[in-house]
Structure 1
Amino acid sequence: MTPDQFAAAGAGFALGLSLIVAIGAQNAFVLRQGLRREHVGVVVAICAVSDALLISAGVLGFGRMTAALPWLAPAMRVFGALFLLAYGALSFRSAWQGGGSLETAGGQGAQSLARVAGVCLALTWGNPHVYLDTLVLMGAVSAEWEAKRAFALGGMTASLVFFTALGFGARLLAPLFRRPVAWRALDAGVGVVMWGIALRLVLGG
């Protein structure tokens, strides 16, 4: 891997990870399944494969669109910067206000594989933010890099690493993330990354 490809992969990994770690229904579901030790591998696979498909579509498809529409890349950089600023502001607000915590896994008895997979697919593909994050935002930022495939690979790797750690490491993370201070630190970190990427988009534009 060349230095440019390595840098692009690192940027894709950092952006992908910062987008994924934001607290949401999908992550809470993965955590709960990890705590229950129930169909964790299937849940992780669904999340990671879904992200890989969406990231590929965003990064590779965005490149084709920008070739046909030269004004699209600058416009999407502006949109991406505004989106990241707003996203980061919400993260900072959550960090300031606190109150976030991990709900313990609920329910009694085992759930079927079909039910768990169905819920996971619904939370993944039914969330409008996933399309903004992958198709729009990842695609817009990838325009800054010539090594777009490496950038996409970095984003996919971030997704696989995060969901694997979240699902199979849930029992280790649960005691920590039952403490609101852990969520506040996480939200603050996400805000810093978001604003840093927004600044780069503005300066690069």
Structure 2
Amino acid sequence: MGNTAIKNDRIYTYADYLSWPEHERWEIINGTAYMMAPPSTEHQRIVGNLFFQFKSHLNGKVCEPFISPFGVIFEPLATEDNITTVVEPDITVVCNTAFITDKGCKGTPDLIIEVLSRSTASRDMIQKRSLYEKYRVAEYWIVDPTHQIITRYYLDHKTGTYLQPDYFDKENTISPIIFPDLQIDLKNIFPEQS
């Protein structure tokens, strides 16, 4: 869909993000602001199913999952006027409790999951993948509801780049590399297609 609102007339910052109305959801990537379209019911079902798996598994542990809207900024020491990137992933897992603030995550999360929608697919697959690699997010999942496939990227900590991705479909079980004991049967994640 080409009707997603974009603000690119100047460099936008986290200070702008904090000033916008709460009922409007925006992300800023490298100073360009993107309005987020309301998600579909199918999108929300998949996000909810995945979040439930992570929440159940991590309950009582140090790492904590968060569901969107939950702002992530990657530069913990920068000021609000100097931060030009803030994103709201569908699911964010944070293991460093010092990064968790009353406004979201200020630092690099350990795992991020984005569920594709028509209005954000290219941003999730290209811009955000590059962004998450740049800031060394250890694990990044892209969930494709249409084809019922999850693409899992994992960071090579020596090179700071993502390794070749792994692919999982509805017939598979997926485990986060950072939580290998969490086994997620994808039949329980993707809704039946008619």
TM-score (norm 1): 0.27
Q: Of the two structures, which has the highest relative contact order with CA contacts closer than 8 Å and spacing of 6 or more? A: 1
Which protein has the bigger strand share?
A: 2
Larger-gyration structure (1/2): 1
User: Given the two structures, how large is their TM-score scaled by the length of structure 2?
Assistant: 0.28
